[in-house]
């Protein structure tokens, strides 16, 4: 059975974000999400209006791949280069409030569980959802490759 490791990350994140947007009512951007930057290293808020769902899907995939993670480790993963004008650039962490809110929403949806002193990990429901999407994507990719070979 194909897993998350067998399909490209961008494909599964796009498919999962669409699923979260349409089928999981617990995952919704708060009112302030349209105005907020995703970290101090950013100059402007995201342009994509669905960025909350994309970040949620990305975090769910990271929890699947990297095991239980806390807010601090996720801040480091979603950080980036802070440009400081003429001074050299430095790394800055991502926004903890966004990460914390998304983890709370995913936990309320039953896709993430809290593990003692390790952070949050993926629940069996979340693992089966990602495995099912991975299987579906892998089958579509195999069909497309067979069509291109026959043509």
What are all long-range contacts of 14-18, with beta carbons under 8 Å and residues at least 24 apart? 14/54, 14/57, 15/133, 15/136, 15/137, 16/57, 16/60, 16/61, 16/129, 16/130, 16/133, 17/50, 17/53, 17/54, 17/56, 17/57, 18/53
Over residues 61-106, the pLDDT tens digits come to 999 999 899 999 999 999 999 999 999 999 999 999 999 999 999 9
pLDDT of residue 1: 84
- pLDDT bin (cut points 50, 70, 90) of residue 112 is very high
Enter the pTM of the model.
0.93
Q: What would the pLDDT profile of 25-56 be if each residue is shown by its tens digit? A: 999 999 999 999 999 999 999 999 999 999 99
Segment (H or E) for 50 = none
pLDDT of residue 9: 96
Query: What pLDDT shows up at residue 73?
Result: 96
Q: Which of 150, 68, 76, 63 is nearest to 117 (CA)?
A: 68
Count of positions (residues) in the chain: 151
Indicate whether 151 pLDDT > 90: no
Architecture per CATH, domain 4-150, reads as Orthogonal Bundle (1.10)
């Amino acid at each position: 059975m194909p897993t998350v490791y067998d399909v490209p990350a961008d494909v599964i994140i796009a498919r999962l974000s669409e699923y979260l947007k349409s089928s999981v009512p617990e995952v919704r951007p708060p009112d302030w999400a349209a105005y907020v930057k995703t970290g101090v290293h950013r100059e402007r808020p995201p342009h994509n209006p669905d960025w909350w769902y994309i970040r949620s899907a990305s975090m769910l995939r990271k929890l699947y791949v990297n095991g239980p993670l806390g807010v601090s480790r996720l801040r480091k993963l979603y950080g980036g280069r802070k440009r400081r004008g003429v001074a050299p650039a430095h790394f800055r962490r991502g926004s903890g409030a966004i990460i914390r809110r998304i983890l709370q929403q995913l936990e309320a949806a039953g896709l993430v569980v809290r593990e003692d002193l390790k952070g949050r990990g993926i629940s069996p429901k979340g693992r089966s959802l990602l495995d099912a999407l991975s299987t579906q994507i892998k089958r579509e990719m195999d069909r497309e490759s067979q069509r291109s070979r026959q043509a």
